[in-house]
């Protein structure tokens, strides 16, 4: 009761508080919409604006005049409340990336060509056959795999010119979230028309001799009269961005349907809440298969993560630009790598295709792959074309690639697409993810694609016979099929023990028509046979017979001399001394006990190995012997080996009353004969024994080698046999 009264008091105080200057948008997740609506029904608290997650009905945009922390204090005790975050404002506008001066020849090739090739749609040749498309192998991939785009590609952007001739036949109406109305048209942002006429007349080569710069983050360049109106006007800082991005997707996948989801205004600003709505609608309302996001921002969003997790869970492929700050930084959505392919920028010519663009962000935390992003020629509003610089134009190459991948496998999902896209051209820059995007190996990696390029592997001779210690060579060949022109990595398995199998060179690159070969070498080692060894005597040392024999001999000699001369005092003394010596020796042999000296502690007497020469991988037995019986509590003898190829226990215990104990000695395979020292210590004495470990050699038998050539997810194998005598 007290908690409720306290909460009510806080609410009353907030109701009387002065409202903020402007309402703040807050994205709220709750499983109890009724409780949220009840809270917002109170005056000066909040307003439920709209649902953001479609049919799921758990994410809502709320506006409030209260400070955000105050609203969170009211939301926290509500039944069903999960979390909330501020609705971010995101901008496409950034630093101008266009070089100065702009190349005058960039858009001069206005020859009309059909695109796709079998259609009646005519486009500029500088768009259809630009070098950037050749670098990522657009035409090669389309013709080789007979794919031109399947499904629907959504672009969350500034919209698109729905009337552009190059895009007719594939454009869907889409939606405008900035106005809350159907049709994601970019031209809504220029109504009423700011130009002298709409559409503005395209300029000729005489009136527009060189491209003109436009003040926007994409740094587009135009060849028409719109440039004068757009340049320097912040209202149109991002005008044309969406049409350009859509044009690149269309360039890669010309038969895929294009869905414009307008979440950004022509000035480049957009709300996170509109982006969330666009993601959920793309999945639920429009059945999109690919979502392109040519934008980035630096503040993490839990709800963006949730939305993209939802899309990925339903098989949607998502790609995002990595940003144009030229830094290693964390930006979103690219940093959400489990559900988004982050795309950086490289050059768009053969001379620069392996070099990171100076403006491109980098770092494997946001970059999965790189694609051309400099001087990319694409469609622009009013039947025009433009060129742009930025990772915004790198991402749609990958999104279009997603539509091509679906042409080979209609169930292609985000993880599968990311794995395929990772088959890219290597780059020396460590911050560019898996390398430079290449459509051909990406499509080749999709196993089971009907009629797709590939290769077959074979090897000669089929079998060989060698003696242990000999070498067998085989020639392995890779023959391309259907124009396969990628790198194959070789591997060899099945080599017998004490033998190695290598392939030289380890990789080959096919040219689409010629067979490439490599040499497989099996190297065996000779077998060594350990000669029979006489096991050294081991066990407790017994000096009693020796001592007795010596003593008896002295005693006998003394008696003889005593008999010869009983009267001789010297001889009698000798006999007495001899008797004393016999008793002393006897006492030493029986453990060293004496009534005068007391007990003598035993010490280590010896360490021996049986056998003392073994093949690597075999075992032998070690024995430690004391100079006398171990005390009643036993004796612990410390052990060690000076080689990693031989292992012994750290110690061995000699039980009380015993004089010796055994311990195991284990060895591992060696390539050459190795001498190893085993050390033991106890009672102040240290002893060593030497062990020789010999190479095992290759056993006789018939073995099968498997030689495999791997390229991406493709592989082919062949087998050869070797008989070792």
pLDDT band with cut points at 50, 70 and 90 for residue 68: very high
Say whether both 80 and 145 belong to one domain.
no
Summarize the confidence of residues 592-607 as an average pLDDT: 66
Summarize the confidence of residues 493-498 as an average pLDDT: 86
pLDDT band with cut points at 50, 70 and 90 for residue 527: confident
Residue 136 lies in a domain: yes
Using the predicted structure, report yes or no on whether residue 563 has a pLDDT greater than 60. Answer: no
- With CA atoms as reference, report the closest residue to 131 among 345, 401, 353, 285: 353
Using the predicted structure, report yes or no on whether residue 167 has a pLDDT greater than 80. Answer: yes
Percentage of residues in the chain having pLDDT higher than 90: 60
Instruction: Out of 87, 104, 139, pick the residue that ends a domain.
Output: 87
How far is the C-alpha of 725 from the C-alpha of 722, rounded, in Å?
A: 10
How far is the C-alpha of 449 from the C-alpha of 686, rounded, in Å?
A: 71
Say whether both 382 and 458 belong to one domain.
no
Using the predicted structure, report yes or no on whether residue 534 has a pLDDT greater than 50. Answer: no
Q: Give the pLDDT score at 537.
A: 38
- With CA atoms as reference, report the closest residue to 316 among 278, 293, 287: 287
More confident residue, 38 or 191: 38
pTM over 0.85: no
Say whether both 216 and 72 belong to one domain.
no
The CATH number of residue 313's host domain is 3.40.50.200
DSSP string, 413-464: -HHHHHHHHT--B--S-TTSTT-B--HHHHHHTSTT-TT--EEEEEEE-SEE
Summarize the confidence of residues 268-272 as an average pLDDT: 96
Q: Give the pLDDT score at 193.
A: 81
Residue 656 lies in a domain: no
How far is the C-alpha of 257 from the C-alpha of 399, rounded, in Å?
A: 12
How far is the C-alpha of 59 from the C-alpha of 106, rounded, in Å?
A: 46
Residue 716 lies in a domain: yes
**Phi, psi at 721, each rounded to 5°:** -120, 150
Kindly report the average pLDDT of the chain as a whole number: 84
Say whether both 277 and 210 belong to one domain.
yes
**Cβ atoms of 294 and 241 closer than 8 Å:** yes
Summarize the confidence of residues 155-183 as an average pLDDT: 96
Per DSSP (E only), the strands in 72-142 are: 81-86, 89-91, 112-114, 122-124
Say whether both 399 and 433 belong to one domain.
yes
Say whether both 155 and 286 belong to one domain.
yes
pLDDT band with cut points at 50, 70 and 90 for residue 107: confident
Residue 581 lies in a domain: no
Q: Give the pLDDT score at 67.
A: 95
545 contacts: CB under 8 Å, gap ≥ 6: none
346 contacts: CB under 8 Å, gap ≥ 6: 352, 353, 354, 355, 356, 357, 360, 370, 371, 372, 373, 374, 394, 427, 432, 436
Summarize the confidence of residues 221-250 as an average pLDDT: 84
The whole domain housing 66 covers 2-87
Say whether both 280 and 365 belong to one domain.
yes
More confident residue, 314 or 564: 314
Q: Which of 233-237, 266-270, 590-594 shows the highest mean pLDDT?
A: 266-270
**Cβ atoms of 423 and 710 closer than 8 Å:** no
Residue 216 lies in a domain: yes
Q: Distance from first CA to last CA of the chain, Å, rounded?
A: 92
Q: Give the pLDDT score at 206.
A: 63
pLDDT band with cut points at 50, 70 and 90 for residue 529: low
Percentage of residues in the chain having pLDDT higher than 70: 82
Q: Give the pLDDT score at 587.
A: 44
Residue 92 lies in a domain: no
Residue 152 lies in a domain: yes
Instruction: Name the 3-class secondary structure at 359.
Output: coil
Least confident of 80-94, 216-230, 447-461, 660-674: 216-230
Say whether both 368 and 463 belong to one domain.
no
How far is the C-alpha of 498 from the C-alpha of 437, rounded, in Å?
A: 42
Q: Please state the domain count of the chain.
A: 3
More confident residue, 77 or 484: 77
Say whether both 520 and 376 belong to one domain.
no
- With CA atoms as reference, report the closest residue to 27 among 49, 5, 4: 49
Using the predicted structure, report yes or no on whether residue 258 has a pLDDT greater than 70. Answer: yes
Predicted confidence (pLDDT) per residue in 115-132, tens digit? 998 889 999 999 999 999
Q: Give the pLDDT score at 713.
A: 56
Predicted confidence (pLDDT) per residue in 503-525, tens digit? 999 999 888 788 999 999 999 88
Least confident of 168-172, 309-313, 712-716: 712-716
Say whether both 73 and 157 belong to one domain.
no
Predicted confidence (pLDDT) per residue in 363-398, tens digit? 999 999 999 999 999 999 988 898 989 999 999 999
Helix (H) or strand (E) holding 550: helix 544-564
Instruction: Out of 444, 469, 485, pick the residue that ends a domain.
Output: 444
- With CA atoms as reference, report the closest residue to 14 among 45, 54, 46: 45
The CATH number of residue 52's host domain is 3.30.70.920
Instruction: Out of 424, 444, 464, pick the residue that ends a domain.
Output: 444
Using the predicted structure, report yes or no on whether residue 592 has a pLDDT greater than 70. Answer: no
Q: How many helices and strands in the chain, by DSSP H and E? A: 15, 38
DSSP string, 376-395: EEEEETTTEEEEE-SGGGTH
Residue 401 lies in a domain: yes
Predicted confidence (pLDDT) per residue in 627-666, tens digit? 899 998 899 999 999 998 899 999 999 999 999 999 999 9
How far is the C-alpha of 402 from the C-alpha of 289, rounded, in Å?
A: 8
């Amino acid at each position: 009761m007290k908690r409720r009264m306290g909460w009510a008091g806080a609410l009353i105080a907030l109701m009387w508080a002065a409202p903020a200057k402007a309402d703040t948008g807050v994205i709220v997740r709750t499983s109890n919409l009724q409780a949220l609506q009840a809270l917002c029904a109170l005056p000066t608290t909040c307003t439920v604006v709209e649902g953001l997650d479609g049919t799921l009905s758990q994410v809502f945009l709320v506006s409030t005049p209260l400070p955000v922390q105050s609203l969170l204090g009211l939301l926290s005790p509500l039944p069903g409340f999960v979390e909330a975050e501020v609705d971010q404002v995101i901008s496409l506008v950034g630093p101008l990336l266009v070089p100065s001066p702009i190349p005058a020849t960039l858009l001069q090739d206005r020859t009309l060509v059909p695109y796709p090739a079998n259609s009646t749609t005519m486009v500029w040749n500088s768009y259809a056959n630009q070098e950037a498309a050749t670098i990522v192998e657009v035409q090669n991939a389309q013709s080789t795999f007979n794919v031109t785009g399947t499904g629907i590609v959504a672009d969350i952007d500034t919209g698109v010119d729905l009337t552009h001739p190059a895009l007719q036949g594939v454009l869907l109406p889409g939606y405008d979230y900035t106005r809350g109305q159907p049709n994601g048209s970019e031209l809504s942002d220029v109504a009423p028309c700011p130009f002298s006429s709409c559409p503005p007349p395209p300029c000729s080569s005489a009136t527009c001799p060189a491209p003109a710069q436009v003040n926007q983050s994409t740094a587009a360049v135009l060849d028409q009269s719109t440039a004068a109106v757009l340049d320097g006007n912040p209202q149109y800082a991002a005008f044309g961005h969406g049409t350009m991005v859509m044009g690149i997707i269309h360039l890669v996948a010309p038969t895929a349907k294009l869905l414009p989801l307008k979440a950004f205004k022509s000035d480049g600003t957009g709300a996170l809440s509109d982006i969330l709505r666009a993601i959920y609608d793309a999945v639920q309302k429009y059945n999109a298969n690919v979502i392109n996001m040519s934008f980035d921002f630096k503040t993490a969003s839990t709800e963006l993560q949730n939305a993209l997790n939802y899309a990925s869970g339903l098989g949607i492929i998502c790609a995002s630009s990595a940003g144009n700050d030229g830094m290693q930084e964390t930006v979103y959505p690219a940093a959400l790598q489990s559900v988004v392919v982050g795309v950086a920028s490289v050059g768009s010519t053969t001379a620069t295709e392996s070099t990171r663009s100076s403006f491109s962000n980098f770092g494997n935390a946001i970059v999965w792959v790189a694609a051309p992003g400099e001087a990319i020629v694409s469609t622009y509003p009013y039947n025009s074309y433009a060129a742009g610089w930025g990772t915004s134009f790198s991402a749609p190459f990958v999104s279009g690639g997603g539509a091509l991948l679906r042409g080979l496998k209609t169930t292609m999902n985000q993880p599968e697409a990311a794995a395929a896209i990772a088959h890219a051209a290597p780059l020396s820059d460590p911050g560019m993810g898996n390398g430079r995007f290449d459509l051909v190996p990406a499509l080749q990696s999709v196993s089971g694609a009907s009629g797709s390029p590939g290769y077959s592997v074979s090897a000669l001779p089929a079998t060989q016979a060698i003696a242990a210690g000999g070498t067998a060579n085989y020639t392995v060949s890779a023959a391309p099929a259907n124009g396969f022109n990628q790198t194959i990595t070789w591997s060899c398995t099945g080599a017998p023990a004490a033998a190695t199998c290598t392939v030289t060179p380890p990789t080959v690159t096919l040219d689409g028509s010629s067979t490439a070969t490599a040499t497989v070498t099996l190297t065996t080692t000779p077998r060594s046979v350990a000669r029979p060894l006489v096991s050294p005597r081991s066990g407790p040392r017994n000096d009693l017979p020796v001592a007795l024999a010596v003593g008896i001999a002295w005693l006998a000699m003394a008696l003889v001399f005593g008999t010869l001369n009983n009267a001789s005092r010297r001889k009698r003394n000798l006999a007495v001394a001899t008797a004393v010596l016999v008793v002393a020796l006897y006492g030493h042999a029986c453990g060293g006990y004496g009534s005068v000296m007391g007990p003598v502690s035993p010490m280590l007497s010896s360490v021996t190995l049986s056998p003392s020469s073994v093949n690597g991988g075999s075992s032998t037995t070690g024995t430690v012997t004391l100079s006398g019986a171990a005390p009643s509590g036993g004796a612990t003898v410390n052990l060690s080996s000076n080689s990693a190829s031989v292992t012994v226990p750290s110690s061995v215990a000699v039980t009380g009353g015993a004089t010796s104990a055994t311990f195991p000695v284990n060895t591992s395979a060696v390539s050459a004969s190795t001498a190893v020292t085993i050390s033991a210590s106890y009672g102040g004495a240290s002893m060593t024994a030497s062990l020789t470990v010999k190479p095992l050699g290759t056993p006789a038998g018939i073995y099968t080698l498997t030689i495999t050539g791997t390229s991406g997810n493709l592989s082919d194998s062949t087998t050869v046999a070797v008989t070792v005598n």
